[in-house]
Amino acid sequence: MQTIGFVGFGSMGHPMAQRLLEAGYPVYGYNRTKEKVSDLQKQGLKWCDSPRRVAEAADVVISMVSDDNALEAVATGDDGILKGLAEGNIYVDMSTVSPDTSRRFAKQVAARGAKMLDAPVSGSVPQAEKGILTIVVGGDRGAFDEVTPILETWGTPHYIGSNGQGELLKLAINISLAAQMLAFSEGVLLAERGGIDHETAVDVMAGSAIGSPLLKARGQLLQELPEQNWFTLDLLHKDIRLALDSGRKLGTPLPSAHASDETLAKAHEAGHGQFDIAAAFKALSEMPG
């Protein structure tokens, strides 16, 4: 069984690492805050004092961090993942970052004789805990085939194409995620202000032709947000801006993404950015009509 290194135990990384441990994989890990993995250490996680040490201990290295800057922080420098990679290693970054950033790192990984996959996920904490994430993967096909059993610990992996293609498809998915969440919140707010009971509006809309898995999972949270912020408005906004950047480079019109960008910017300015995306309803309800 392959030895796995894991860097980044946030809201998604923690349950994903736990599933690896439950599946019997030997896991070495690093997180900026060690206290957040104390429970995983009791389950067998082997702590390392830097991302480099994680990479040196593992056959396959996984990172799951928040954005391009966070990836830069754990991957580069004397204590970074790249310095710890050896020939034959596979590095799987599961963060949602710019396709250009992912391709740049893939070249640096290749220079060390290793292979890199970008493998962002679609789904949130409940899906991570249940192992039903959708995983979109870019990079070397042989490396994908080699780590598929590991990826299946978390859900269904899909090979998309060359490095960066997994990231691009994840951004494409999140354009719809933002548009759906905002449009659903708008509709519920319109119905509520027209005298329709909030719960009735949510139930009927989520059960209608527009009722996607996203809306069915998040609809009931519009007024009572989850205790844990599964996926924040600021993180969604980051992804929309990355999508817009890709759209500009590819000459692709993205009107829904532009509209989402504007609304999410206002939500951030109003102090809602660190809340779960279901807070889109509250943010809209406070905006002038």
Would you please indicate which residues are annotated as catalytic (active-site) residues?
170
Are residues 12 and 62 in contact, defined by beta-carbon separation less than 8 angstroms?
A: no
Annotate 89-106 with DSSP letters as a single string. -EEEE-S---HHHHHHHH
CA distances from 162 to 25, 65, 102, 117, 142 (A): 27, 21, 11, 9, 12
Distance of CA 75 to the CA centre of its chain: 17
Count of residues in the chain: 289
Cβ count within 10 A of residue 152: 13
Tokens read off for 172: 């494409």
Tokens read off for 202: 């949510």
Are residues 162 and 261 in contact, defined by beta-carbon separation less than 8 angstroms?
A: no
Rounded CA separation 129/110 (Å): 32
Tokens read off for 105: 């790192």
Q: Quick check: helix, strand or coil at residue 30?
A: strand
Element (H, E) at 62: strand 60-63
The separation between the first and the last C-alpha atoms of the chain, rounded to the nearest angstrom, is 58
Rounded CA separation 171/254 (Å): 12
CA distances from 70 to 2, 117, 176, 226 (A): 26, 17, 25, 25
